[in-house]
Amino acid sequence: MTSQTTGVRTPAKAALMIGALGVVFGDIGTSPIYAIQTIFNPGDPHPVATATTNVFGIISLVFWSVTIVVTLKYVLLVLRADNHGEGGILAMITLIRGTGGSSGRRTTVVLAALGIFGASLFFGDSMITPAISVLSAVEGIEVLQPGLAAWVVPITAAIILGLFSVQRHGSGRIGRSFGPIMIVWFITIAVCGIGGIVRHPSILKALSPTYAIGFLTGHFGTAFFALAAVVLAITGAEALYADLGHFGRKPITRAWLFMVFPALILSYLGQGALVLEDPNGFTSPFFLLVPEWGRIPMVVLATAATVIAAQAVITGAFSVAHQAVQLGYLPRLRIRYTSTESAGQIYVPWVNWALMIAVLTLVFAFESSAALAFAYGMAVTGTIVINSLLFFYLVRKLWRKPLWMVIVGAVFFLSVELLFLAANLTKFVHGGWLPLLIAVTVFTVLTTWQQGRQLVTAKREKEEGLLREFIDTLHERPITRVPGTAVFLNRGNTTVPLAMRANVEHNHVLHRNVVILSIETLTVPHVPEEERVLVDDLGYTDDGIIHVTARLGYVENANVPEILAQAAAQSTELTVDPDDTSYFLSAIELKLGDTPGMPRWRKHIFLATTGITADAAEYFHLPREQVVIVGSQITV
């Protein structure tokens, strides 16, 4: 396992740490704004009274939940389960696939499907986080002036529009802009928390696990339902893992241990102290903890911080979508690389605008952070539980740890996380259904695309025919060999590219030099330069036909001109003049038919999903004036 920051200069490492503060920790870093307030919200179907025993128990539960789930599990353990520097559930799936032999194939298939559902839940999280985070901050104006409540939703919508509009500049540049703001944020909430602790230092006793355990055992009914809101303190934990490829494990770990974690705990302790001092302070303990003169600046700072919180999951969604494309769960999407220092920093326009529409819909539908809180908890707990199941499978199969150690670790973490999940299931009718509905929808699209792609590939290979037989018949055909080089993109070296077959059969023309290019996406993020390109004449050098295989990692860019230049540099049999090269693409039109293998309703979804496929010439970085597109039709 490696880190993206290996070999990076010290100034660059510092920049990555600041960037991580600005992107990775925005979500979990703004949880103090709404977590405690939600727990004691009297509008909850199962409200928690602000009795002294309850306050100590809640703050203790929050502290130990953050410590166990985020610090122990994610920061110290899960971040080590990277796939050559890349993180997230889909990266974990590729690791699981690599562990499955014939005896474990069924297990890996089930776990991979579970992981896809976890990735689908993360997309739900990516929709809910910007809505609840920005709403909770803008609601601070109600503390200043209750008459401004009607402006909360319009202001939130304007902020979200602005946030999604700047995504094209890249997470690295955004992170460097947001990083200093988050440094100010964490220092500020820590100082405010210390102020509350000084006024009521007895709250420090809540750091003892006895208060959390005593609250759970002595007031289980109250504590169990409260867990559905306590989980809000660990929202954003999965974003730490999903954003691993953007900044690397060490910058994320250091930023968490030395700044984020201490600041969060001080804020929660301070809010607990405030509620002990003033039981009515539960209405907005975060903002009431701030001196009256500083509340307007705090609302502004909190709004900026929640914009950054939204950035964390948006960036993670870009990573997950990119990996889904490369692993065959989504069609080819337009992807822009926004950094020369870190290959993980990308921008996916279609995902960006789809998320924006979804987030705005949630803002106008729910109108308050409290209304969204129950939906939020379900998305978070579902993703975290699935992450644990996959992680401990890897600990056993990949890291070869003793079975007893795996069982002890899995039981310890899952006992905590399943308790959170069970508590959130009680909120299903109060909004918990929303992330599950989103996840089921996304899961259906991802798995349908994978299955439909397999059906199309099988039919396409049948129509293409064997390359060897086709070339053997070239001498029997009345074709003209014209000057220049023709590049045909194909899925392998055994079948005929549809564009090549059509050009010969209908135009009776073939270039003197023919390159059949296949691009293989491997289940690793990066492929070493020397292993990236393979040139094979297939025994048809006299016919001027050469096959090139490009092997790319699932986060790498498929730049065809660069691939051909590298192939020409390592093979004397291949000469490519960029100005005298034509690129032939097969544009396949899919039609609904009665082909077996997939239900008709899923075929409709598959055909609809093809509509978001990016332009092939742009995706492969082809000079558009040298591209020839040949159409064909396949029925599914």
Write the DSSP string, 286-341: HHHTS-GGGHHHHHHHHHHHHHHHHHHHHHHHHHHHHHHHHTTSS-----EE--SS
Q: How far apart are CA 135 and CA 627, in angstroms?
A: 48
pLDDT tens for each residue of 83-125: 877 787 878 888 887 776 544 677 888 888 888 998 898 888 8
pLDDT at 2 over 50: no
- Joined tokens for residue 96: 């699981």
Q: Are strands 346-347 and 336-337 parallel, antiparallel or unpaired?
A: antiparallel
Vertex 368, ends 366 and 370: CA angle to 5°?
105
pLDDT at 537 over 90: no
Q: What is the DSSP code (8-state) at residue 615?
A: P
The CATH code for residues 10-365+375-431 is: 1.20.1740.10
Q: Are 70 and 237 in contact (CB under 8 A)?
A: yes
**Which H/E stretch holds residue 513?**
strand 509-521
Q: Are 57 and 234 in contact (CB under 8 A)?
A: no
Q: Helix, strand or coil for residue 589? A: strand
Predicted confidence at residue 7, as pLDDT, reads: 45
Predicted confidence at residue 6, as pLDDT, reads: 42
Q: Is the dihedral of CA 159, 163, 166, 168 positive or negative?
A: negative
pLDDT at 469 over 70: yes
287 to 196, 281, 284, 290, 438: CA distances (angstroms):
12, 10, 6, 5, 32
Q: How far apart are CA 610 and CA 600, in angstroms?
A: 16
Q: Across the chain, what does the average pLDDT equal?
A: 84
- Joined tokens for residue 620: 């492969």
Predicted confidence at residue 257, as pLDDT, reads: 92
pLDDT at 265 over 90: yes
Q: How far apart are CA 303 and CA 299, in angstroms?
A: 6
pLDDT at 194 over 90: yes
Residues in the chain: 636
Predicted confidence at residue 59, as pLDDT, reads: 95
Q: How far apart are CA 242 and CA 238, in angstroms?
A: 6
In this prediction, residues 185-207 reach a mean pLDDT of 95
Which residue intervals of the chain bear CATH 1.20.1740.10? 10-365+375-431
Give residue 446's pLDDT band: very low, low, confident or very high (50, 70, 90): very high
Question: Residues 321-351, buried b or exposed e (16+ Cβ, 10 A)?
Answer: bbbbbbbebbbbbbbebbbeebbbbbbbebb
Which of the residue ranges 173-187, 289-303, 373-387, 564-578 has the most confident prediction, judged by mean pLDDT? Answer: 289-303
The total of other beta-carbon atoms located within 10 Å of residue 404's CB is 8
In this prediction, residues 544-554 reach a mean pLDDT of 86
pLDDT at 483 over 70: yes
In this prediction, residues 36-53 reach a mean pLDDT of 81
pLDDT at 62 over 90: yes
pLDDT tens for each residue of 12-24: 666 777 777 777 8
More confident residue, 276 or 522: 276
Give residue 5's pLDDT band: very low, low, confident or very high (50, 70, 90): very low
**Which H/E stretch holds residue 199?**
helix 171-199
Nearest to 387 by CA among 67, 1, 37, 95: 95
Amino acid at site 231: V
Q: Helix, strand or coil for residue 499? A: helix
Give residue 173's pLDDT band: very low, low, confident or very high (50, 70, 90): low
